[in-house]
Amino acid sequence: MPSLCLNLLNLAPRYDGAPPLAEVLDAAAATGVERVALDPSCIRRHLAEGGSVASLARELSQRGLRCFELLFLECDPERAEGTLRTAQRLSEWAGELGAEWLLAAASRAPVGEPLIDLFGRSCDLLAKGGAGLAFEFFPWATVNDLAAADELVRRCGRRNAGVLLDCWHFFHGPDGWPELEAAPLERIAYVQFTDSIRVPPDRLLAESESSRRFPGEGCLELSRFAATLLRRGFDGVVSIEVLSPETRALGARIFAARCVESSRPFWENPARA
């Protein structure tokens, strides 16, 4: 059965009113999950308050947590050197935190030699920190579906490259059930999981960080999504990424608990979720 990861982006300092990191980590630990995803804004605030990446790793370990997923690298061939500098810094952070994956995306670039080369070089930098690079496709981006993301990962030829399958993007993009059935599981790094209110096609980018709800409380066909992957043999990590002001306002402990409680049935018994 897949393992759950609690994505803490919704509680990160990039959003106003973010709770103290210690409170967020305590809330995550109380759910019983071991894996969490961290946004760099959490790390930057920890550093600004006099901490270090090593001390953050200890904070995680003391609570029985580990960083599975670290966000976020924008792969932009038009500013390749800047991308690689960022990848180097994130690789160092990933190494100290023991992160398994860094999430990456490209908003404008198509799958071609410039993006393939840049993504591959970024993978090489992440490998030095012991992490992989997972490419996320967006419905509004040039790389907007599973096939294109998989082509990029396949053509870059790095063993630490994978496709991030975010169900919010899957349901709002051009893919359908045949594409999910055909997706090569060996190149799926992990899954991000959430529900959603209905979003008009012209509002996808604007509402991608405000429309996500607890699984089972929206309009996405999550039972079929999970059941399809489970039937095909997926047993990797599912990162719960609920994002919205409404869920954020519940506070860290309630938010974390509801993320895990609402997600678990879909991966334990999707027919009854």
Model-level pTM greater than 0.95?
Answer: yes
Is a pLDDT exceeding 90 seen at residue 87? yes
CATH architecture of the domain with range 3-252: Alpha-Beta Barrel (3.20)
Average pLDDT, rounded, for the chain: 97
pLDDT digits (tens, 9 = 90+) for 162-214: 999 999 999 999 999 999 999 999 999 999 999 999 999 999 999 999 999 99
pLDDT digits (tens, 9 = 90+) for 97-126: 999 999 999 999 999 999 999 999 999 999
Written as one letter, the residue type at 229 is: L
**Other Cβ atoms closer than 10 A to 57:** 19
Contact 45, 22 (CB under 8 A): no
**In the chain, what are the domain boundaries?**
3-252
Confidence of residue 59 (pLDDT cuts 50, 70, 90): very high
